[in-house]
Structure 1
Amino acid sequence: MFAYAAAEGVTLRLDATEIRVRRPRVGRPGGKAFVSGKVKQNTIKTTVVADEYGSTLWCGRHRPGRMHDTTAARVEGIDALLDAYPQVKVLVDAGYQGLAKDHPGQVTAPPLKLRPGAPPARQVQWEADRKRQSSLRIPVEHAIAELKWWRQLQRFTGRRELLPETIDAVAGLVSDRMITW
């Protein structure tokens, strides 16, 4: 995917999505790893990469909901790929601020919140910058939404171990459908 983006000059859009899963049985080890800090429920996170048209280019590793987005990007090797392909540009959300700090000019995250009492002109500029970056990231949100249109991924009630295979199958179908249009 990074080689394709470098060759074609595509700006990648990177984001993660959480899918609710059933709680583990009482007494099973590692149950707390799946409790997301954001939604306060048992989830599994998946990293999704899309292009400017909203086509799913990669539906990445699946991890417990407790893992932070930046940590997951480093564990999945995205950090190393950014070092290997310095010409690739990536747009991310606020969950990847650490990745944007490590790769300035290559990874673009929304601007940090202003401190209270910032001048009004600075607040207007911050709002415009945030909105511009958000508008450029919309295609990855559409790619995630298209994955979640599938009933199985709205709330997975099957065995937690089978969810990664289900996500990969749905992502393959969605990606194939996007290419054939």
Structure 2
Amino acid sequence: MIVGSPQITGLSADVIAQLIAELGPLWTEQRKRRLQARPRQRALGAGARYRLVFVDRLLATLVHLRHGVTHDVLACWFGVDRSTITRAIGEVRPLLAERGCTVASGIRLRTMADVIQFLGASGRTAIIDATEIRFRRPMPGTAGRDRYISGKSKQNAMKALVVTDAEGCLLFAGALRPGSCPDITQARDAGLVQLLAAQLDLQILADAGYQGLGAQTGGQVITPPHRKYKKNPPPWWEEMFTQRRKAHSSRRIRVEHGIAHLKNWRALARHHGRRPLLEDTVPAIAGLVSHQRATHRLAATTG
């Protein structure tokens, strides 16, 4: 089926097969609980049969996240009603979000606490940054409407916190905040300072937006060096300052590559749905991207 090709879903056939085997039983159990919660009980096997089986529901969700295909178009492709596609995506997307980021076989990170614990145990260096996801402006009269306007892009956006390792492999994406929220405030709200206090000898690279966290974390968060001389700096100092900033930028650039992999999915390049859906969309896509890359790394090492 063409909908299941890597060019359409962004995932290889092996990864899709793993998703079907993993999420299929969870979706079946979710559907069973929903039916049992109804006041009116039906006999086992009663009721109309689903026209859209789970595999098609998963593929429709992947295509929607990857290319931002509207529910109307997906309904035409799969030969069902638009409401069926909307319901299917609403059922599968939370299941994808709960999987977390895959870093190795059998190891998944779902929260910031999981990330810090994994980094402390593995001795890896992490890189942290924030990325903005544009969305439609809230309607007039909405409380706090202006707080979604980003001071950087001057557009309505939500800001997601992204953590990768030194190679750019995704470890975490989430902790959404309005676009006007400073990067350092978002990291503090995510509990980074408290988590690092319990995990010593861990380095996290960050850009200038996180200056100040280094002092709060005992130097574990490393930011670009400050400019000591504002006017007429000595030539030797200016050259040293430039080299240090360039070296820091060269190490930190990997997180930009991780963010680029996320933004390849159209649902995060510009979000056209309801704003609360981003809470599930961001971790769902991060989990898919990390799973795909982890599968490639495993195939490369075993091949």
User: What TM bracket, shorter-length normalisation?
Assistant: over 0.9
Matched residue SS, 1:88: coil
Q: Which one of the candidate residues 14, 19, 35 is aligned to 2:128?
A: 14
Which structure's residues are more often helix, by fraction? 2
Count of aligned residue pairs for this structure pair: 181
Measure how far apart 1:102 and its partner are. Answer: 1.9
Residue 122 of structure 1 corresponds to 237
Q: Distance in 1 between matches of 2:141 and 2:220?
A: 45
* Higher deviation after alignment, 102-111 or 144-153: 102-111
Cα RMSD for the two superposed structures: 1.1
Matched residue SS, 1:105: coil
Q: Distance in 1 between matches of 2:149 and 2:193?
A: 25
Q: Distance in 2 between matches of 1:104 and 1:123?
A: 27
Residue 282 of structure 2 corresponds to 167
Measure how far apart 1:104 and its partner are. Answer: 4.0
Identity of aligned residues (%): 46
Question: Aligned pair 1:137/2:252, yes or no?
Answer: yes
Cα pair 2:174 2:282 within 8 Å, conserved: no
Deviations 1:143-165 (Å, cap 9, x if unpaired)?
A: 00100011111111111111221
Measure how far apart 1:103 and its partner are. Answer: 2.5
Which structure is richer in relative contact order (CA contacts within 8 A, separation 6 or more)? 1
Q: Distance in 2 between matches of 1:72 and 1:156?
A: 20
Residue 68 of structure 1 corresponds to 182
Q: Distance in 2 between matches of 1:116 and 1:135?
A: 26
Matched residue SS, 2:292: helix
Question: Aligned pair 1:94/2:208, yes or no?
Answer: yes
Matched residue SS, 2:128: strand
Q: Which amino acid aligns with 1:103?
A: T
Measure how far apart 1:138 and its partner are. Answer: 1.3
Deviations 1:58-109 (Å, cap 9, x if unpaired)?
A: 1131111111111111111011111111211100011000112322431110
Return the TM-score normalized by structure 2: 0.58
Q: Distance in 2 between matches of 1:105 and 1:167?
A: 29
> Any stretches of 5+ residues in structure 2 without a counterpart?
1-114, 297-303
Residue 150 of structure 1 corresponds to 265
Cα pair 2:161 2:175 within 8 Å, conserved: yes
> Any stretches of 5+ residues in structure 1 without a counterpart?
none
Residue 82 of structure 1 corresponds to 196
Distance 1:131 1:104, change over 3 A: farther
Question: Which structure's CA Rg is the greater one?
Answer: 2
